[in-house]
Structure 1
Amino acid sequence: MPEEIAIIGGGPAGAAAAVALSKAGLRAAVYEAMDRLAVKPCGRAVPATSDLPLPIPRDVIIEPVRRAVLYVDGVKTVDVELSGAGYIVDKEELLEEWLALAGAEVHKSSRFNPFTGVVRAGGETREVKGGLLAGGVAFYGGEKILAVQALARSEGLKGLDGLYIYFDTGLLGYYWVFPYGDIAEVGVGGYADFEALRRLLERFVEGNELTRGARLTDLSGAPIAVGGLDLGTLKGLVKVGEAAGFVLPLTGEGIRPSVISGYYAGAALAKGDDPISALSSLPVARAVRVQRSILEAVKRMSQERRREFLMAMPAEVHEEVALGSLRTGRILRALASRPDLALKLIKYMGGGG
């Protein structure tokens, strides 16, 4: 195995993979398409769960997450106080620190051509032979939705203490309000185009008690992978992170699943093991599969049945989704306590109406 391994993409999956490789004495050459890291719009929330393979440096933490609140069509279903359960982070600083920790050779403004298998870096063209493809949603082959995000500024948002997620059964999507210092990040993701989502976000901000009257700036949009896992290779590169579908389909959480996938794919590669097998067996992979199955079932329901189904879900299920705990066993046990809901879910998973 060469001492330097190519990684396409310097996002969460690529940075985590570089750290894993460095622990095995291997150096990563990271090729990032943009001129800076963390360009993609993102809620910046990272749950501090035991499955996160890398610690979050204290100096990149903007503030801890102290509360998680979940609504379904305006009805509050979860409101839990948290202690050390997660952080809002400066994503760019986080990635820079992890890549520095790995001693990676980072090439920014370096675009990979998936048709030829070459990358243009620093005016030179290099052929990439083997490594990891962590280039994000552009290399994902499954279903995607669009997300639109903005910064919200108002006096009422100062001191916001938690993550607020609002499911909308009509949109078949969700809104979010996350703290970010003295302002907030607000967004919407769902099955609609950019202009429709922009209008929905503006309407949500004006009607929501937390954000009413806030001024929106820095509006941006990006696709999110929600179609489940898309494991495989492209030009000999093993896909990881969002390129491989490591995003939780029900909430769009992607930083932590991408970090986990990148780290363990890098570790498998360093040991000479099959990275795809390693990725497939991860608990987070199971969580993605379960959430995708639930999303598929909910998509087949009418809006009325969708609302009834989600409102009848046990509180444990809503809490797992709100916290992004990835404990699929708890979700399945909670559903087992409501066999009527489990049967409905199975029916819709099978394509029934």
Structure 2
Amino acid sequence: MQIAVIGGGVAGSYLSVLLQRSGYDVTLFDLKGKYFKPCGDVVPNVYEPKIPWRVKYRIKNFAFYVDGEKVYDVNYRHTKWNVIDKTGWINSMIEEVRKKVIGNAKVNSKDFDLVVKAMGPYLMDRKVVYTTRSIIKTEEFDDVAVLEFDTRYTGFYWIFPDEDGVYNVGAGFLEYKNSKELLFNYLKSKFKKYEILDTRGAPITVDLVKEKDWRIGEARGLVFPMSGEGIRPSAISAEEAFNAIVKGKEFNEALSQGLRKLERRIAIQYLLLKTYINSNNYLRKKMLKTFLSNGVLVDAFLEDKIDLEGVAESMRELRNGSAIIR
């Protein structure tokens, strides 16, 4: 089979290499040929890809703020989130693909047996939140991941340990597109002294996508709207696409079945997000403080498993003493 993959992000590069290593004739189409899309670079520690990534930092401690007030903090006995070298992982896979078309070359579907679309949010057929993140170096470092919500907007600030002495600090709010301005003001309010090593922005999907045929990753809408986590669902979609092709299954039907749980959990988060968007500031604060003060819901949120099955799983883990709640 001759297969075209459009887009060299998480899903596209990963699928291309999996197929190529299995003997398929793969052509990867990408605008730049080098990947860089800034985000928090964190993945819940419940998944590992078939092609390993480098883990830079392991996060066990979390603190949650609403309008400047700490409402909850927790220390897990095991790693809850992995900070990964996402850019290095993806670029190593892009480099491995033997056939690449870089630039705006159009894909002629007649030249291929299968064309898979993995263009991230750049199809622009959905709502996105414009995020900005800075990598900063500071002596004011500890190993706590911070998520801070501002009820005037829909979204949050984050402070994630990236490496020793280095933080990934970001901002993304649906109603305020100039996230860079918000981020820089936030940095000044949180740190007395720091050095900005890099600052970049990117759109992140916060909407459901109607058109899913032949799509994987964020092009299919596989981003959790409440947390913005898209690395793991994109990678899983690449694995499901690979399995469908190798096993000769009908592609779209196989993906719908294989991604059912993920897409259900994304849909639940979308409904919760819509409720938040349509609420006034008082109700927003009430909802956030209630949600973020509940250890079970926080645990489910951190692993993006907010459904009955996921909440029950979090309850069992907390009963077994997986966390120290302060």
Pair in the same fold by TM > 0.5: yes
Q: Mind listing any 5+ residue stretches in structure 2 that lack a counterpart?
A: 314-326
Would the aligned equivalents of 1:30 and 1:104 in 2 still touch at CA under 8 Å?
yes
TM-score (norm: length of structure 2): 0.83
Instruction: Report SS of the residue matched to 2:140.
Output: helix
How far off is 1:33 after superposition? 1.5
Please point out which of 178, 187, 200 is paired with 2:182. Answer: 200
Distance 1:251 1:325, change over 3 A: closer
Q: Mind listing any 5+ residue stretches in structure 1 that lack a counterpart?
A: 120-125, 335-353
Identity %: 24
- 1:307 alignment partner in structure 2: 285
Structure 1 segment 246-257 matched on structure 2, within 5 A = 246-257=222-233
2:318 equivalent to 1:317 = no
2:285 partner letter: R
2:129 equivalent to 1:136 = no
Please point out which of 169, 182, 204 is paired with 1:186. Answer: 169
Please point out which of 30, 47, 61 is paired with 2:44. Answer: 47
2:81 equivalent to 1:81 = no
Which whole-Å deviations, capped at 9, do the CAs of 1:58-114 have from their partners, x for residues lacking one?
xx22222232333333323242325243322222221244457xx63252633354x
Please point out which of 83, 87, 90 is paired with 2:85. Answer: 90
- 1:61 alignment partner in structure 2: 55
How far off is 1:300 after superposition? 1.1
Structure 1 segment 1-353 matched on structure 2, within 5 A = 2=1, 4-22=2-20, 24-37=22-35, 39-50=36-47, 52-54=48-50, 56-57=52-53, 60-73=54-67, 74-98=69-93, 104-107=97-100, 109-111=102-104, 113=106, 117-118=107-108, 130-157=114-141, 160-181=142-163, 182-195=165-178, 197-208=179-190, 211-233=191-213, 238-281=214-257, 282=259, 283-313=261-291, 314-321=294-301, 323-326=302-305, 328-330=307-309
TM-score (norm: length of structure 1): 0.78
Distance 1:325 1:296, change over 3 A: closer
2:189 partner letter: G
How far off is 1:244 after superposition? 0.8
Would the aligned equivalents of 2:10 and 2:231 in 1 still touch at CA under 8 Å?
yes
Aligned residues: 309
Distance in 2 between residues matched to 1:161 and 1:299, nearest whole Å: 31
Distance in 2 between residues matched to 1:265 and 1:17, nearest whole Å: 7
How far off is 1:134 after superposition? 0.9
2:174 partner letter: Y
How far off is 1:129 after superposition? 5.7
Distance in 2 between residues matched to 1:111 and 1:179, nearest whole Å: 37
Distance in 2 between residues matched to 1:298 and 1:327, nearest whole Å: 16
Distance in 1 between residues matched to 2:114 and 2:162, nearest whole Å: 39
